[in-house]
A and B are shown apart, each in its own frame.
Chain A
Amino acid sequence: MFDGTPDEISRLIEPGRVHRRVYTDPAIFDLEMSRIFGRTWIFVGHDSQVVKPGDYITTEIGRQPVILIRHSDGNTHVLLNRCAHRGPKVCNEPCGHAKALTCLYHGWTYDTDGTLIDVSMPEGTAKGFDKSQFSLASVARTGRYRGFIFANLVKDGPSFDDFLGPMKANIDDLVDRAPDGEILLDAGMHRYFFRGNWKLQVENVLDSYHVPYSHASTVNKKGEQFSRREGDKEGAKVIDDQNTDKTADVWKGRRSFVVNFGHGWTSNTELNEKGRSSPAYDAYKEALAAKVGPERMAEILTPEFHNSLLYPNTSIMGLNIHIRVIRPVAVDLTEVMVYPVRLKGAPESMNFGNIRLLNVTHSAASFVQTDDLESFRRTQAGLRSEQSDWIDISRGLGEEKADDHYNATSESAMHEMVIRAQYDAWRQYMCDA
Chain B
Amino acid sequence: MDGLKLPQSTAPGGVAGIDREQFELFLIHEGRLLDDRRFEEWMELFTEDGLYWIPSTPNQADPYKIASLFFDDRELMKTRIDRLRHPRIHIQTPPSRTNHMVSNVIVEEADEAAGTYLVSSSMLMSECRLDIQRHFTGRQFHRIERAGDSFRIRLKRVHLINCDSPFEAMAVPI
A contact set with B: CB distance below 8 Å: 94, 187-195, 213-214, 216-218, 226, 335-336, 338, 340, 348, 351-352, 355-356, 358-360, 363-365, 367, 369-371, 373-375
Contact = CB atoms under 8 A, between A and B. Distances in A.
Contact of A358 (B67, B70, B91, B170): B67
Interface in B119-144: none
A110 B78 CA distance: 53
Given A360-B79, A369-B169, 14 more contacts: A94-B164, A187-B65, A190-B69, A191-B164, A191-B167, A193-B166, A217-B83, A218-B83, A335-B166, A352-B64, A352-B65, A356-B64, A358-B67, A364-B166
Interface in B92-149: none
Contact of A340 (B67, B76, B83): B67
B14 interface: no
A224 to B, nearest CB: 12
A367 B79 contact: yes
A217 B168 contact: no
A364 B67 contact: no
A355 B64 contact: yes
B67 A213 contact: no
A213 B88 contact: yes
A338 B69 CA distance: 12
30 contacts: A187-B65, A187-B67, A188-B57, A188-B60, A189-B56, A190-B67, A193-B167, A214-B90, A217-B83, A217-B86, A218-B83, A335-B166, A348-B64, A356-B63, A356-B71, A359-B67, A360-B79, A363-B56, A363-B68, A363-B70, A364-B168, A365-B167, A365-B169, A367-B79, A370-B171, A371-B89, A371-B91, A373-B168, A374-B169, A375-B90
Nearest to B85: A217
Interface centre among B66, B88, B90, B91 (most CB of A within 10 A): B90
A356 B88 CA distance: 25
A364 B88 contact: no
A432 B168 CA distance: 35
Interface of B: 54, 56-57, 60, 63-71, 76, 79-80, 83, 86, 88-91, 164-171
B166 A191 contact: yes
Contacts of A365: 54, 69-70, 167, 169-171
Contacts of B79: 226, 360, 367
Contacts of A214: 90
A365 B69 CA distance: 6
B106 to A, nearest CB: 26
Nearest to A339: B67
A97 B86 CA distance: 46
A369 B69 CA distance: 12
B155 to A, nearest CB: 16
B67 A188 contact: yes
Contacts of B167: 191-193, 364-365
Contacts of A216: 86, 88
A370 B169 contact: yes
Given A188-B56, A191-B164, A193-B168, A355 B67 contact: yes
Nearest to B79: A226
Given A217-B86, A218-B83, A373 B69 contact: no
B90 A359 contact: no
Nearest to B68: A359
Contacts of A340: 67
B66 A188 contact: yes
Contacts of A338: 67
Contacts of B83: 217-218, 367
A338 B167 CA distance: 12
A351 B88 CA distance: 32
A371 B70 CA distance: 16
Contacts of B168: 192-195, 364, 373
Contact of B65 (A189, A355, A358, A359): A355
B90 A191 contact: no
Given A190-B56, A355-B66, A360 B169 contact: no
A329 to B, nearest CB: 9
A370 B170 contact: yes
A191 B165 contact: yes
A56 to B, nearest CB: 17
A363 B90 contact: no
A351 B63 CA distance: 12
A299 to B, nearest CB: 29
Contacts of A359: 63, 67-71
Contact of B76 (A192, A355, A360, A364): A360
A217 B88 contact: yes
Contacts of B170: 364-365, 370
A312 B163 CA distance: 28
A382 B154 CA distance: 44
Nearest to B53: A359
Interface centre among B67, B71, B168, B170 (most CB of A within 10 A): B67
